[in-house]
Amino acid sequence: MDLRQGIGLRKLGKTAEEFQQDLLSNLYYRRGTTVESASARDAYETLSQTVRDRLAERRARTAAAHYASNPRWVYYLSAEYLLGAQLEQNLLYSGTGEIAAEAVKALGFSIEDLEDLDIEPGLGNGGLGRLAACLVDSMATRDIPAVGYGIRYDLGIFRQIITENGQTELPDDWAFQGNPWEFPAPDDRQTVGFYGHTEPVPGSQTRKVWVPGEIVLGEPSHMLVPGYGTETVNIVRLWSAKASEASFDLSRFSAGQYAEAVQEAVRAENISKVLYPDDSTELGRELRLKQQYFLVSCSLRDIIRRFRLRNEGWDGFAEKTVIQLNDTHPTIAIAELMRLLVDEYELEWDRAWEITRKTFAYTCHTLLPEALETWPVHLFERLLPRHLEIIYLINMLFLREVEARFPGDDDRLRRMSIIGEEPRMVRMAHLAVVGTEAVNGVAELHSKLLRETVLDDFAELWPAKFQNVTNGISPRRFVRIANPRLSDLITEGLGTDTWIRDLERLEGLERLADDASFRERWQAIKRANKVDLAAGDPDSLTDVMIKRFHEYKRQQLKVLHVITLYHRIRQDPGRDRVPRTVLFAGKAAPAYHAAKDIIRLIATVAATIEKDPVVSPYLKVVFPSNYNVTLAEKIIPAADLSEQISLAGKEASGTGNMKLALNGAITIGTMDGANIEIRARVGEENFFLFGLDAYEAANARINGYFPHRYYEHDPELRAALDALGSGAFGESGQRVASSLMSWDEYLTLADFRSYLDCQEQVEQAWHDRERWTRMSILNTAHCGFFSSDRTIADYAARIWRVAPVPVPHDD
Ligand code: B1N
């Protein structure tokens, strides 16, 4: 199928000469400059356009194939996307890497120089946002008709600078110089209402008219999401808030009141101004609820518009549409679809409810109580008055259902209600469970704990609704792009590169773990990656902990380990030791003071060790600034040891654990999240396990947990905490110590000894480098399951019930 034939459009060429021609043409006619005066920026923009054009052609064919087959669609709603840098990915996915390099060279630049100008859109916080990006990648790779919807924040996750004083935050104006990967689509703009009041509709029990008090426009633009090794190119559609023309107050402007004249417009556009920089916590702020509703309102209207292109009426809607809610952030969509169907399209309530419930599915990403979103009823009532009425009605009918199943069980009604009492709150997770067809957790343990704890009443009522879909990661970005050396060796070893699309094929590496020359090359690649990273001695054990800073993840446990190593070296300087480079990277929410104290403490410990000539030959602590997808791609290939040391039962899944294991790092970890599944696959002899399990951890307080006891009974722990308490590592260190000694919410001290003993085993294994390298190869070989392609196959088969729609080739 060649869409261009009908309109006589020239086909974009596959040769280096043709690519070069297009590059020059873009340089002259779109960029408006010449070869002689082209800057690196000109070259970057022009190269990006030239690559983008090749994907745009595939995008047009994809859209045509989707239109022709009128398929069932997946719509992924997420407040966050961490897509990563686009240029290298799009060169790979369009197969233009080599010809592009040649063409760019002729302009006097190298691809690597231009890749440095390719800024990643940091439209997310951490794992949840990056998961969304991996899933859209895999949906395209699996030819699933899908659109990802999100918010185009002007300012992404803050830029972090680490100094001896800890973290400072700067705004991330990521698109300051433009974003060549984006297609604005102002024609598809939507209108969103907020505030106001509702009015009854005469003769109707359920219909209402909502008269909003504020109107904001949502303007979409999209980024292309190509599949790997297939023709499909899907999109992620991101909404920007724009003030309507009417919000500019011309009369005030004319009277010289310039600030007042634009006040309303500024307020409207603030909706998509900045990403909330919190992760795994909930910040009950009005602007955040506004963002959520803005995303949902724009996206649902767009989904309905798209449905109407090929379908009439509402009968087919739930058959043609599945909307996946990425955590509770877009859950207001359930009330919004009801509002659209009942109020605007005048469907009967029961029919609307049947359609709504069939359309949505919900993924929960946490167990932490502080991350379960709730909104004060009074805030909801003011901002979204009609939605609150709809939620009340949904709740009443739902509680009737519960009452029928469990008559007289008032306590159960209270527990399950969508509205919590004292203070009155809307519980978004309850709305998400009630209004969807399927609910899933993100790793086996997490899904089980959801059923047994936070959502137990719901699991009892609707057992079939609850499922597990273990997370995964894109093998393209986190192996092929991040680690080209290892990728080439794997391809050579397996005799094929099909593993990039079919990651379970990595199993074929198992037999190569016994091949001494293969092991030698494997080890040499790890070393070369460490040289590239330039974080420390490439022959030292590179021990990495890269993730958001949160007390439940227990960076503080790692710090206690580092301080203990420091003490041991000082006490016995002559002994032969395993040299280690401990690398921390990650951001803390700006208002999360305890996490920022831990960052500052690490910076102080790093400086103290650096200055100490006795210790520094064996131990180095590094903390590069501004951890993001781009930096992760540099660190992960260089890691020997992967720290996954959260308190069991707290990390829903983790995905960094998968990225590191797939790149041959060996995990030291607890029985938490997906660690358990990694260990089951790589084998217990290839995984360093320590600590309490989730049930032991949950029972610890019940049985009486006194952190002081551990302090008293463990001299090394005592020495570390005393050093912190003394102020030797600054005031942050004192605060960290006092928090650990007084309450220790995440049982750090309880797991200290087990963790230290386990680190001794790590060093034993490291001494035997042949053994270590074997373990490393086997980690990669057995982690193929953690491809997000498998995750998507699971969602497609068990939750979405969608089939792929192949896009025909161009010749
Ligand atoms: O989602 C990831 C998991 O791998 C991690 O274990 C989990 O911690 C993470 C509120 C969150 N859960 N909840 C959030 C993010 C932002 C926000 O404002 C909560 N992130 C996770 C992918 O499943």
Nearest to 593 by CA among 127, 373, 288, 281: 281
Query: Residue range 603-614: average pLDDT?
Result: 98
Is the residue at 321 inside a domain? yes
- Measured from the CB, is residue 278 less than 6 Å from ligand 1? yes
Average pLDDT, integer, range 271-290 = 92
What is the rounded distance in angstroms from the CA atom of residue 724 to the CA atom of residue 718?
10
- Are both 334 and 355 inside the same structural domain? yes
Q: Helix H segments across 286-419?
A: 286-310, 317-320, 333-339, 349-359, 377-383, 385-405, 410-416
Q: Work out the average pLDDT over 127-149.
A: 98
Whose CA is closest to 479, among 442, 546, 529, 523?
A: 529
Mean pLDDT of the chain: 97
535 C-alpha to ligand 1 centroid (Å): 28
Rounded to the nearest angstrom, the distance between the alpha carbon of 127 and the centre of ligand 1 is 6
Q: Is the dihedral of CA 48, 96, 633, 620 positive or negative?
A: negative
Structural domain span for residue 155:
70-85+120-470
- Cβ–ligand 1 distance for 640 under 6 Å, the answer no
Q: What is the atom index within ligand 1 of the atom nearest the CA of 654?
A: 4
- Tokens coding 422: 């004292």
The answer, yes or no, to whether any atom of ligand 1 lies below 6 A from the CB of 125, is: yes
CA of 732 to the centre of ligand 1 (A): 26
pLDDT of residue 8: 62
Q: What is the pLDDT of residue 678?
A: 99
Q: State the distance from the centre of ligand 1 to the C-alpha of 366, rounded, in angstroms.
A: 6
Protein residue whose Cα sits closest to atom 18 of ligand 1 = 279
Half-sphere exposure (Cβ direction) of 471: Cα atoms closer than 13 Å: 34
Q: Which of 81, 274, 279, 454 to mutate to test the pocket of ligand 1 (most atoms within 8 A of CB)?
A: 279
Atom 15 of ligand 1, nearest CA residue: 279
Question: Total structural domains in the chain?
Answer: 2
Pocket test for ligand 1, best of 283, 291, 365 (most atoms within 8 A of CB): 365
The answer to whether 751 and 557 are in contact (CB under 8 A) is: yes
User: Is it the case that residue 6 has pLDDT exceeding 70?
Assistant: no
* Cα 185 to ligand 1 centroid, rounded to whole Å: 30
Please tell me the predicted confidence (pLDDT) of residue 14. Answer: 87
Query: How far is the CA of 123 from the CAs of 151, 186, 220, 229, 270, in angstroms?
Result: 8, 21, 15, 27, 15
What percent of the chain lies above the pLDDT cut of 90? 95
pLDDT (tens digit per residue) in 254-269: 999 999 999 999 999 9
Is residue 217 within 6 Å of ligand 1 at its C-beta?
no
Answer whether residue 282 shows pLDDT above 90: no
Contact by Cβ (8 Å): 83, 333:
no
Backbone angles phi, psi at 466, to 5 degrees: -95, 130
The type of residue at 654 is G
pLDDT of residue 275: 98
What is the CATH classification number for the domain harbouring 780? 3.40.50.2000
Residue 811 has a pLDDT of: 72
Cis peptide before 423 (omega within 30 of 0): yes
Which residue shows structure tokens 């691809």? 111
**Cβ(440) – ligand 1 distance below 6 Å:** no
Q: Within a domain: residue 164?
A: yes
From the CB of 279, is ligand 1 less than 6 Å away? yes
Which residue minimizes the CA distance to atom 11 of ligand 1? 280
Q: Is the CB of 471 under 6 A from ligand 1?
A: yes
pTM, entire model: 0.98
How far does the centroid of ligand 1 lie from the alpha carbon of residue 651, in Å?
9
Distance 762 CA to ligand 1 centre (A): 29
Task: Say which residues have a Cβ less than 8 Å from residue 794's Cβ, sequence separation at least 6.
Answer: 469, 470
Does the beta carbon of 472 lie inside 6 Å of ligand 1?
no
Interatomic CA distance for residues 399 and 393, integer angstroms? 10
C-alpha distance from residue 53 to each of 183, 315, 735 (Å): 11, 38, 54
pLDDT tens digits, 184-212: 999 999 999 999 999 999 999 899 999 99
Residues in the chain: 811
443 and 540 part of one domain: no
Reply yes or no on whether the pLDDT at 484 is more than 60. Answer: yes
pLDDT at 284: 82
Tokens 């093998």 sit on residue: 475
Query: Does residue 120's CB lie within 6 angstroms of at least one atom of ligand 1?
Result: no
Of all protein residues, the one whose alpha carbon is nearest to atom 16 of ligand 1 is 279
The pair of structure tokens assigned to 258 is 């310039």
Residues β-bridged to residue 439? 362, 466
CB contact set of 506 (below 8 Å; sequence gap of 6+): 490, 494, 499, 662, 780, 781, 782, 783, 784
CB of 144 closer than 8 Å to CB of 155: no
CA distance 154 to 176: 9
| C-beta 651 within 6 A of ligand 1 | yes
Residue 600, pLDDT above cutoff 60: yes
673 lines ligand 1 (CB under 6 A): yes
Same domain as 761, residue 655:
yes
The Cα 563–Cα 609 span in angstroms is 9
Q: Measured from the CA of 283, which atom of ligand 1 is nearest?
A: 18
Q: How far apart are alpha carbons 810 and 472 in whole angstroms?
A: 31
Mean pLDDT for 240-265 is 92
Residues 579 and 444 in one domain: no
Q: Which of 414, 443, 470 is the last residue of a domain?
A: 470
User: What amino acid occupies position 436?
Assistant: T
- C-alpha 279 – ligand 1 centre gap (Å): 6
- How far is it, in rounded angstroms, from Cα 4 to Cα 57? 9
Atom in ligand 1 nearest the alpha carbon of residue 548? 8
Please write the tens of the pLDDT for every residue from 69-86. Answer: 999 999 999 999 999 999
Mean pLDDT of 506-524: 98
Count the neighbouring beta carbons within 10 Å of the beta carbon of residue 200.
10
Last residue of a domain, one of 470, 491, 511: 470
pLDDT in tens, 384-431: 999 999 999 999 999 999 999 999 999 999 999 999 999 999 999 999
User: How many C-beta atoms surround the C-beta of residue 17 within 10 A?
Assistant: 11
Residue 809 in domain? no
Euclidean distance between CA atoms 167 and 373, whole angstroms: 27
653 C-alpha vs ligand 1 centroid, how far in Å? Answer: 9
Return the ligand 1 atom nearest residue 442 CA.
23
The last residue of one of the domains, among 470, 503, 518, is 470
Ligand 1 pocket residue status of 373, Cβ below 6 Å? no
What's the 280 CA to ligand 1 centre distance in angstroms?
5
Cβ 525 under 6 angstroms from ligand 1: no
What is the best residue among 128, 468, 548, 551 to mutate for testing ligand 1's pocket, by most ligand atoms within 8 Å of CB? 128
The CB density around residue 786, as the number of other CB atoms within 10 Å, is 25
What's the pLDDT band for 7 if we cut at 50, 70, 90?
A: low
Q: Is the CB of 655 within 6 Å of ligand 1?
A: yes
Q: pLDDT band at 245, cuts 50/70/90?
A: confident
Mutate to test the pocket of ligand 1, among 326, 363, 366 (most ligand atoms within 8 A of CB): 366
Three-state SS for 630? helix
Please tell me whether residues 453 and 491 are part of one structural domain: no
Between helix 385-405 and helix 349-359 the angle, nearest 10°, is 90
Distance of CA 354 to the CA centre of its chain: 31
* 491 and 639 both lie in a single domain: yes
**Residue 246 pLDDT class (50, 70, 90 cuts):** confident
Parallel/antiparallel/unpaired status of strands 419-420 and 466-468: unpaired
Cα separation, 588 vs 125, in Å, equals 10
Handedness of CA 725, 729, 735, 740 (dihedral sign): negative
The reply to whether ligand 1 has any atom less than 6 angstroms from the CB of 328 is no
Strand, helix or coil at 220? strand
Ligand 1 neighbour 367 (Cβ under 6 A): no
Residue 3 has pLDDT above 70, yes or no: no
Alpha-carbon distance of 766 to 787, in angstroms, equals 28
| Nearest CA, atom 5, ligand 1 | 654
Please check the confidence at residue 2 and state whether its pLDDT lies above 80: no
- In the 8-state DSSP scheme, what is residue 74? E
Residue 566 CA: distances (Å) to CA of 166, 324, 489, 573, 610: 21, 48, 37, 10, 11
Residue nearest ligand 1's atom 13 by CA: 280
Instruction: Give the burial class of 408: count Cβ atoms within 10 A of its Cβ; 0-12 exposed, 13-18 middle, 19 or more buried.
Output: exposed
Q: How confident is the model at residue 280 (pLDDT cuts 50, 70, 90)?
A: confident
| Span from the CA of 80 to the centroid of ligand 1 (angstroms) | 10
> pLDDT tens digit string along 144-200?
999 999 999 999 999 999 999 999 999 999 999 999 999 999 999 999 999 999 999
- How much distance in Å is there from the Cα of 3 to the middle of ligand 1? 42
Q: Are 515 and 535 a contacting pair, CB within 8 Å?
A: no
Which bin fits 687, alpha (ψ -120 to 50), beta or left (φ > 0)? beta
* Helix (H) or strand (E) run with residue 193 in it: strand 190-194
Place of tokens 């070069």: 20
3-state helix, strand, coil in the chain (%, to 5): 55, 15, 30
H/E/C letters for each residue in 74-125? Answer: EEEECCCEECCCCHHHHHHHHCCHHHHHHHHHHCCCCHHHHHCCCCCCEECC
Residue 743 alpha carbon to ligand 1 centre in Å: 25
3-state secondary structure 220-232: EEEEEEECCCCCC
Mean pLDDT of 90-95: 98
Q: Does the CB atom of residue 662 touch ligand 1 within 6 A?
A: no
In a domain, 369, yes or no: yes
Ligand 1 pocket check for 442: Cβ under 6 Å: yes
Same domain, 335 and 243: yes
Owner of token pair 């025909």: 808
Q: 550: CA distance to ligand 1 center in Å? A: 12
- Whether residue 4 is predicted with pLDDT greater than 60 in this model: the reply is no
Verify that 503 and 438 share a domain, yes or no.
no
Q: Is residue 806 part of a domain?
A: no
For residues 202-227, average pLDDT: 96
> Ligand 1 pocket, 759 CB below 6 A?
no
Q: Are residues 711 and 620 in the same domain?
A: yes
Task: Decide whether any atom of ligand 1 lies within 6 Å of the 788 Cβ.
Answer: no
What are the φ/ψ torsions at residue 190 (nearest 5 degrees)? -125, 165
Q: Which residue CA neighbors atom 19 of ligand 1 most closely?
A: 280
Residue 153 lies in a domain: yes
Residue nearest to atom 17 of ligand 1 (CA): 279
End-to-end CA distance of the chain: 7
Residues 395 and 507 in one domain: no
Q: Which atom of ligand 1 is nearest to the CA of 446?
A: 6
Phi-psi sector, 769: left (phi>0), alpha (psi -120 to 50), beta: alpha
Helix or strand (DSSP H, E) at 161:
strand 159-163
What's the CA angle centered on 337, arms 333 and 339, to 5 degrees? Answer: 115
427 and 497 both lie in a single domain: no
Give the model confidence (pLDDT) of 331-343 as tens digits.
Answer: 999 999 999 999 9
Of the CA atoms within 13 Å of residue 190, those in its CB half-sphere come to 22
Is 15 inside a domain boundary? no
The answer to the question of residue 57 being in a domain is no
Q: Please return the burial class of 64, using the count of CB atoms within 10 Å of its CB with bins 0-12, 13-18 and 19+.
A: middle
Active site amino acids: 365, 547-548, 553, 655, 659
Q: Is residue 408 located within the same domain as residue 511?
A: no
